[in-house]
Structure 1
């Protein structure tokens, strides 16, 4: 039996620390020794993530365990998430979800088969409910983003979002120092400088790599 931890954030701006700590703290207090921890920093809309795919390849033996902090850290698409959960169930791999305490109890050792069946049914219902909420939040956010973009187009301001004018690198570097110091959030700087997300991260990457690429422009 192997025990794996998995945690995901949607972007590289978000820190993995909190979720990892939740899992390791639970393991520590429960006397559980993790075999390996897997993490990704990308969207939960699908499961095409490098560490998750690596986890899925090795978590395939009966009685293996996967521990996650919340259902939406596994995925935000309800139907795809439930499909992944069914995959593990068919293999006999157990999923423990910290936000759903009933999944942390091993009911397989219970003598009463009816009680075991009832608890499994309750767990399935709770997991589907949490997956539904995560899916609804994703759909709502995408709808708001689409409406915001359309509103900008209607106002003739789309160029500020879709095709930003390149800014002076030295100016970006100066303002980016505020993000590094924690005085400004990335999205605030993007708005302030009228930068698209892709352009922002392109410039930010150059700033971070500057000691190694000094004198060489990558823009």
Structure 2
């Protein structure tokens, strides 16, 4: 039996990794399919080490579908890391279906005859490679522009580094003072556990700093 395994990713803790869930659900429902499992994480698409993605691969059986909103949710990887990820996907014979790659949509449907399936797989491998390259270029271009902007701001004396989300951090601190659990705080604020840890560590550092 083929399972649809949906993968949701955002780059930072402050972004909503589950934002595209409704779009993936709609895609599946429109085709009479059901998403059997969801895998959600806040990790950069530019790094290969992503626990939930690799849990998906580990859970998958041959022929299962990895469903994503866009190819860049799966990869902004370097060429070598993209080849390593493809090797793992191919080893499990996992079919990638992306909403921004219409030629891949047939991969979510019933198996076709061998010749048709081979042709579809070949076309999608080529297009996936192309979109992965585009996603990587977009990532490196944005990083370069960001670095250039920071340098200019530093030269003008305007750059102060990234500002913390002070309002949410204050809310987290207040919930901690009330004895609320980390799980409850995550649900209430949308923050990740790593964000809560930063608040906790920041408060400890402030308490132990020498007073003058």
Tell me the TM-score range normalised by the shorter chain. Answer: 0.7 to 0.9
Partner of 1:10: 11
Partner of 1:208: 172
Superposition CA RMSD, Å:
2.7
**After superposition, what is the alpha-carbon deviation per residue over 1:17-70, rounded to whole angstroms, capped at 9, x for unaligned?**
4411111111111111222101112311113233223222212x2112211111
Structure 1: gaps (5+ residues):
162-195
CA contact (8 A) 2:57 2:88 kept: no
Partner of 2:130: 129
Matches within 5 A, 1:189-204: 196-197=162-163, 200-201=164-165, 204=168
Q: How far did 1:71 drift? A: 0.3
CA contact (8 A) 1:38 1:55 kept: yes
Partner of 1:76: 76
Partner of 2:41: 40
Partner of 1:22: 23
**Farther off after superposition, 131-140 or 91-100:** 91-100
CA contact (8 A) 2:8 2:21 kept: yes
Question: How far apart are the structure 2 equivalents of 1:104 and 1:82?
Answer: 22
Partner of 1:188: none
Matches within 5 A, 1:1-219: 1=1, 2-59=3-60, 61-79=61-79, 80-106=81-107, 109-110=112-113, 113=115, 115-158=116-159, 160-161=160-161, 196-197=162-163, 200-201=164-165, 204-213=168-177, 218=203, 219=206
Structure 2: gaps (5+ residues):
180-199, 207-212
Q: How far did 1:149 drift? A: 1.9
Question: How far apart are the structure 1 equivalents of 2:121 and 2:58?
Answer: 25
Q: TM-score, normalised by structure 2?
A: 0.72
Partner of 2:190: none
